[in-house]
Structure formats: structure tokens, C-alpha cells
Structure 1
Amino acid sequence: MMEVRFRDFNPFNCWIWMRFAQPAQVTEIDYINTLLDSWFILGRMGAFNAQNLQIHLQGYDINWMEYDNNLLRDSLGSSINAMSQPEFKDDWARCWIDLGEGDNIALDLLINALLHIDVNVVEIVELVIGGINDDWPVEDYPEDLLSLPL
């Protein structure tokens, strides 16, 4: 099962590292890329807003739940700013993110999705959030960024 570790974490300049049991194959890379692209788009559109978790906080029974639309409108933005294209090298993959105003719940949801990929698609030995790997130099801010207008 995938081990999750955190190193030095800067939400505006963060590398996410994945080490696989063996180098990822083309179809496995496609799954990882699609997941990260989807996660970024949701984050860019403000989906990871921990101030507005009304349904989650309601609990199991949401029949006839009264949704507070004022809370929805009044909650602060939570947009992720940018993400690099994932890179793959040997048994490692990495991706740079600028979480911007995105809440840390974004990381929980990413970890949950990667756990599903670990179990069903490709074995991820470890997921490391933050810091750098000494054997794979990084730029402060990668040039190949995904950023969508709001």
C-alpha cells in the first residue's frame, strides 16, 4: 500500500513526488496524467473550498437538506493557481503545484484518488508531498505550466 510522507511544504511552490514499484507504462502514465489534470481543473475552478462543505457536514441523511446559498456565495475563493505537466523518470514521477488559495482538502482528495490508482492501476510505493529529491534537480518554478483563466 502507498506510503504518504510530507517534507518541507510551501503551498505556493510544492513538488509532488510518486515512486512506483517499477517504471510506469504508457497506459499507467495516462491514468496519472488524467487524474492530475482533472484534479487541477477542479482546483482551478474553486472546488476544494473547505469553508463550504455543507453536505459533508450534514452527515449521512441529506433528504430535504436545507442548503445555505448565502454561505456558498460568502465563502472565500479557493482556487489553485498553477500546475506543471507531470514528468516521469525511471520509477519516479513528479509534478509542481502552486496551491494558491486552495485549501489543504485538495491534498486529501488527491491522496485518496492516488490510493485508488495504487490499488487498481499501478503500484505507487510512496507519495511524497513537498521537498526535493537530490537525484532529480528541480526549477523553482517550472516553465511548462498549466494555468487556466478564472
Structure 2
Amino acid sequence: MASGTTARERRLVKVREERRRREYDREHTYPGWAKVLENACRDDEELRAILGDSIGNPELMKQRIQERVRKKGRAQFNKSKTGSIVAFKVSFRDFNPLNSFIWFELFGEPTDRDVDLLGGVVQAWYVMGRLGAYNSSNLQLANSMMDYDPSYDSEEASTVMPSSFHDISDVEFQDNWARVWVDLGTSDYLGLDVLLNCLTQLSSEHLGIKQVVFGGKKMGDWEEGMTSSDYGYKHFKI
């Protein structure tokens, strides 16, 4: 697919591909292998790039795959995908901890599994925050020497001012962007460090993340109010 296209143009291409496939179905029996490839494109950005505008046309799809195999060989084509070995970029844009979005740019459109992975991390992060985990006023063990059995003063912990995450939205996805609105309440910025530590591991092993942006009104081709799954919208309910 050509670079530089807008989100709306990319969605229109998807609609045309689906229409082309339905039209072909009406005239022919759509091959099972073509359906498998078409479904696989949703989870494989590389395969989608190979097939391009041939989706919906089995003969052309077959030609594209054969050309790819001849050029790269079967071993390279079947190479399994992992997370990204490149560390993601982190930036802040007028971040208000009481009323801001956190944005996540992925390397490609997320699969349902990717949505569950990132959404699950954010959900766990929120639950910990609601329970007061991000309180830098009580880091007794972090500030102690661990080469011997440390002591923990529960009375001291109980006198520390509570710290609680106030509110969060569902995690929304459009194309290769995701976002979540947060109100950190009285939680410390320690919570952001915890989130970034989790995302670092997630990105390197499971789901490649290109960048994380704290704050900002709009990123990429995000369209407010566009909540139709027909155009690539997904969400994870917190």
C-alpha cells in the first residue's frame, strides 16, 4: 500500500477489497486457500504488503506469493515474528496527570491478540494504581539494603498519605495507534515508571511499540468519533 495515504483513504481501500472479494464470490467459488491468506493478512503486516491490491483476486494473489517465494525463499518467508529489538521513544506533550491521553504507536495494525496484550497491561497498571501502589512516600524496601533480611514497619506504612489512581478510559485502537485517557489522581509519577517498565518488556518480547506519548490531543491519523470496526476501530474494556 502506498505510503503517505490518510487513514480514511486506507479504510476506503479495505472497503474496496472486501467489495471485490464479494463480487468474485458471486461469480466463482472463492478458493479456501485464498480465504486463509486473506484472514492471515489481518495479523501479518508483511504478508499484507506482499499481496497489496491483489486481495480478492485469487489468481493475482497466487502470483504475488509465488514471486515472493522465488525472491526470498521459503525459509525467510516463514520466519516467525517477535517483538521489536529497537527501544521505543518516550515523549511528553503538555501532559496533565489529572486529564490527559497516553498514546501508543505500534509498528502495524494490532491483531485481537495485540489488543488483549496491551489492554491487559494497562488494566493491570490501573488496578495497582487504584490500590495505592504508586506511592513514593512509602518505599521502605526499595531504600533498604537487600544483602540481609530487611525489616518493614507496617505502622509507618499506615501513616503515609494514601495515593490512588482516580479514573481511566477503555483502551482505543485506530490503525497502528492506541490511546487511553487517565486521571492519575494522587498517584505519584512512580506509576509512569512502572508502566514504562512493563511496556519495555512487552515491546521487546511480544508486541513492538514504536513510541509512547504522554499528553497531546491527536496523534497520527486519529479521527474523533470514528468507532466503527469496519474502519479498523477496536477497543479493550477496562
TM-score by structure 1 length? 0.87
Q: Aligned-pair RMSD on alpha carbons?
A: 1.7
Give, as a single letter, the amino acid of the residue that structure 2 aligns with 1:110.
Answer: L
Deviation at 1:70, TM superposition (A): 2.4
Deviation at 1:137, TM superposition (A): 5.5
Q: Which runs of 5+ in 2 are unaligned?
A: 1-86, 226-236
* Structure with more helix by fraction: 2
The equivalent of 1:142 in structure 2 is none
TM-score by structure 2 length? 0.56
Give, as a single letter, the amino acid of the residue that structure 2 aligns with 1:35.
Answer: V
Give the Cα separation in 1 of the matches to 2:145 and 2:165.
Answer: 27
Give the Cα separation in 1 of the matches to 2:122 and 2:102.
Answer: 11
The equivalent of 1:65 in structure 2 is 150
Give, as a single letter, the amino acid of the residue that structure 1 aligns with 2:128.
Answer: L
Give, as a single letter, the amino acid of the residue that structure 2 aligns with 1:54.
Answer: Q
Identity %: 34
**2:173 aligned with 1:120:** no
Give the Cα separation in 1 of the matches to 2:92 and 2:211.
Answer: 11
Give the Cα separation in 2 of the matches to 1:119 and 1:64.
Answer: 33
Q: Which runs of 5+ in 1 are unaligned?
A: 140-144
The equivalent of 1:16 in structure 2 is 102
1:96-135 deviations in Å (ceiling 9; x for gaps)? 0000001110000001101111101111000001122164
The equivalent of 2:55 in structure 1 is none
Structure showing greater relative contact order (alpha-carbon pairs closer than 8 Å, 6 or more residues apart): 1
Give, as a single letter, the amino acid of the residue that structure 1 aligns with 2:200.
Answer: L
Give the Cα separation in 2 of the matches to 1:111 and 1:118.
Answer: 10
The equivalent of 1:5 in structure 2 is 91
Give, as a single letter, the amino acid of the residue that structure 1 aligns with 2:194.
Answer: L
Q: How many residues align?
A: 140
Give the Cα separation in 2 of the matches to 1:137 and 1:129.
Answer: 18
